[in-house]
Chain A
């Protein structure tokens, strides 16, 4: 009697376990910054990616298979990213990596070619969109360079004084992220007859005052300025600019123009423009509903923002690639890369510009939207599309 009971329980348990054991999981490595220099934007990004993965798994997964996202906080310290990467490849056998910034991406860009693992970065540096040099790197949205080109197009349109060329200044931190679009911007400005009158450099690690930089910029009489800093530092620059009474129109990039900007810069944010690749949280686009519903169900108390939505767009994009690779029975790094490069205008319901990758062009889109802060809120102004020139691949 007792033995048969035990046998019954065991076989019941086994029958429950069997389908679980049979279900395959797809391993994806995740490198994030939750505690380091870029944590303020890194944390909401992780939350977006993680929530999106859970959403995907609950809604059919990748053709029935579940994604297993292995989350690692590398604190923006490159050696730790490299160590975590080695673990991903050898132990976890990941077939895709969701990376983060220029530090980790630059350090691993050669290794991912050797190991054949597609690497998504949340850094929009154009150096990563040329498959001739970095065939396994991807990112979702217009590069910083294309954002600057779009900005320059706006300048050309907005500047009405016919007697002279518009004067533009660049403000950026002295690191890879900061310098990323400057050369491309200067080249394009020359092409469309815009004068780049000044370069102002801010510290990479942190500052409380940008007055000397702005005073120098004031001397050059810039009509427009593009700030290639993240939101905390951009807000300091804007506050000092407002204090000095500068007439310059300021533009931020897609890491400066977030919902945090009006909270930090307060009145100094009013009237400021910025480039947007991923739409603000709560925008009325078709793809936003599932995100808002998820937020209401799981995080009703949290404040979600553009970075959170960005995380979703990344996960949704590479999950699509995983689905295609799985259908082609090529669930490995190389297969996923090919699958990504088969995406043509993949529609994310307006969350980000439709995504296209080809085997010789990893620019998902060259279009960005310009938003303005009106009444403390991000308001859409206009979209601009940078020309898609072959010689600008990687620039």
Chain B
């Protein structure tokens, strides 16, 4: 690292300036003390944001950084959720260890799904992952010994140092510890050779292979890492929901995950955070508005809910056409304006 020229080192640095470093620390401090003063509802939303940051990040690694579209996020989250729950109930292992183990199971299964399609063009992966979604859905309904079928399974709560983590306050720490760890891993990934290979594959697959990159192997790795993230997110979702069933992970979650990274910013780590925050908070705000207005305009209640889907759809279209780098790019521009102007 220290042998690289200063310009490259600056470019690769985690924090681009002292101001940014302090801002991040202050933000982290606020975040860490949240469970002390926030309401249960707010923590519920914040926890869900954390879970989707992990899921979106995983998908971004695959789609944003490596250029492979996947519609399988919901299926992989389901594998993680049911895998972790099954491990915990079957072996009595503390759920907290089941989370990373479920991630590994999901990564393994993900790569199995990936193998047939990763030798083909990118859009074939989209279809294979869609097929995987329905196959996983079928299994969650019928493989009752593992998943509990349509009645579902209740999730044994994780415990740490004797404390059971079964409410929003305690789960917050678990979720955000993982969020921070996985964010750091991702940002290190893209400063490393592996991450750069992913980006090369996305931008110019032909040239990448000519340069000697084993395209298939790196695609598989990307797919494995992405599935690991999705599996962990799914296991955390199981913790938070406490009951999971075949209805917990419909295809809309996969589509929402794609929306998050498109709106947040493809190929951007902070974009994954923006996307997750945006797509979790906006429905809550819209719902609050709907509820408040439904007293005076009862006829609006049904329409305002479809409005959310309309807004998301329009944002996906607009961002893809005008600002493919999403909210992350807008954020960069704002920072530049504040710093330079």
**What is the minimal beta-carbon distance from B279 to any residue of chain A, in angstroms?**
13
A25-49, CB < 8 A from B:
34-35, 39, 43, 46-47
Cβ of B305 within 8 Å of any chain A Cβ, yes or no, is yes
**What is the minimal beta-carbon distance from A154 to any residue of chain B, in angstroms?**
28
Q: Mark B118-151, 1 if CB is under 8 A from A, else 0.
A: 0000000000000000000000010000000011
Cβ of B163 within 8 Å of any chain A Cβ, yes or no, is no
CA distance A175 to B247 in the complex (A): 8
| A73, B152: Cβ atoms closer than 8 Å | no
**What is the minimal beta-carbon distance from A57 to any residue of chain B, in angstroms?**
12
Please tell me which one of the listed residues A71, A90, A174 contacts residue B39 in the complex, with CB atoms under 8 A apart.
A90
CA distance A50 to B294 in the complex (A): 10
Q: Mark A80-91, 1 if CB is under 8 A from B, else 0.
A: 101110110111
| A176, B302: Cβ atoms closer than 8 Å | no
Please tell me which one of the listed residues B39, B241, B306 contacts residue A91 in the complex, with CB atoms under 8 A apart.
B39
Interface centre among B150, B168, B298 (most CB of A within 10 A): B150
Which A residues are CB-close (under 8 A) to B48? Answer: 79, 83
CA distance A146 to B31 in the complex (A): 51
Stretch from B63-71, B169-177, B283-291, B317-325 at the A interface: B283-291
Cβ of A354 within 8 Å of any chain B Cβ, yes or no, is no
Interface centre among A73, A78, A110 (most CB of B within 10 A): A73
| B150, A175: Cβ atoms closer than 8 Å | yes
CA distance A141 to B121 in the complex (A): 56
Known: A78-B241, A82-B44, A90-B40. A176 touches B301 (CB 8 A): no
Known: A86-B44, A87-B41. A107 touches B141 (CB 8 A): no
Cβ of A103 within 8 Å of any chain B Cβ, yes or no, is yes
| A107, B44: Cβ atoms closer than 8 Å | no
CA distance A110 to B242 in the complex (A): 10
A111's nearest neighbour on chain B, judged by CB, is B242
Q: How many residues of B contact A (CB 8 A)?
A: 31
Q: Report whether over half of chain A's contact residues are helix, strand or loop; otherwise say mixed.
A: helix
Q: Report whether over half of chain B's contact residues are helix, strand or loop; otherwise say mixed.
A: helix
| B241, A82: Cβ atoms closer than 8 Å | yes
| B301, A71: Cβ atoms closer than 8 Å | yes
| B284, A83: Cβ atoms closer than 8 Å | yes
| A91, B301: Cβ atoms closer than 8 Å | no
Cβ of A179 within 8 Å of any chain B Cβ, yes or no, is yes
CA distance A47 to B243 in the complex (A): 30
Interface size class of A (residues with CB under 8 A): 20 to 34
**What is the minimal beta-carbon distance from B115 to any residue of chain A, in angstroms?**
29
Which A residues are CB-close (under 8 A) to B284? Answer: 83
Known: A35-B305, A90-B40. A103 touches B247 (CB 8 A): yes
B298's nearest neighbour on chain A, judged by CB, is A50
Which A residues are CB-close (under 8 A) to B243? Answer: 106-107
Q: Mark A178-192, 1 if CB is under 8 A from B, else 0.
A: 110000000000000
Cβ of A331 within 8 Å of any chain B Cβ, yes or no, is no
B277-322, CB < 8 A from A:
283-284, 287, 290-291, 294, 298, 301-302, 304-306
| B287, A176: Cβ atoms closer than 8 Å | no
Cβ of A72 within 8 Å of any chain B Cβ, yes or no, is yes
| A86, B41: Cβ atoms closer than 8 Å | yes
Cβ of B248 within 8 Å of any chain A Cβ, yes or no, is yes
Q: Mark B63-89, 1 if CB is under 8 A from A, else 0.
A: 000000000000000000000000000
| A73, B41: Cβ atoms closer than 8 Å | no
Which A residues are CB-close (under 8 A) to B248? Answer: 78
B288's nearest neighbour on chain A, judged by CB, is A87
Cβ of A376 within 8 Å of any chain B Cβ, yes or no, is no
Which B residues are CB-close (under 8 A) to A204? Answer: 150, 247
Cβ of A75 within 8 Å of any chain B Cβ, yes or no, is yes
Which A residues are CB-close (under 8 A) to B290? Answer: 72-73
A69-125, CB < 8 A from B:
70-73, 75, 77-80, 82-84, 86-87, 89-91, 103, 106-107, 110
Which B residues are CB-close (under 8 A) to A78? Answer: 241, 247-248
Cβ of B213 within 8 Å of any chain A Cβ, yes or no, is no
CA distance A50 to B301 in the complex (A): 12
| B301, A46: Cβ atoms closer than 8 Å | yes
Cβ of B178 within 8 Å of any chain A Cβ, yes or no, is no
B45's nearest neighbour on chain A, judged by CB, is A83
Q: Mark B81-120, 1 if CB is under 8 A from A, else 0.
A: 0000000000000000000000000000000000000000
Across the A-B interface, the 3 shortest Cβ-Cβ residue pairs = A35-B305, A86-B41, A87-B41
In addition to A87-B41, A175-B150, 18 A-B residue pairs with Cβ atoms within 8 Å of each other are A34-B301, A35-B302, A46-B301, A70-B291, A71-B294, A71-B301, A72-B287, A73-B301, A75-B305, A77-B252, A80-B283, A80-B287, A83-B41, A90-B40, A103-B247, A110-B242, A174-B150, A176-B150
A interface residues, Cβ below 8 angstroms from B: 34-35, 39, 43, 46-47, 50, 70-73, 75, 77-80, 82-84, 86-87, 89-91, 103, 106-107, 110, 174-176, 178-179, 204
Contacts A/B (CB < 8 Å), 11 sampled: A34-B305, A35-B306, A47-B298, A73-B302, A78-B248, A83-B45, A87-B41, A89-B40, A103-B247, A106-B243, A174-B150
B interface residues, Cβ below 8 angstroms from A: 39-41, 44-45, 48, 141, 150-152, 168, 241-243, 245-248, 252, 283-284, 287, 290-291, 294, 298, 301-302, 304-306
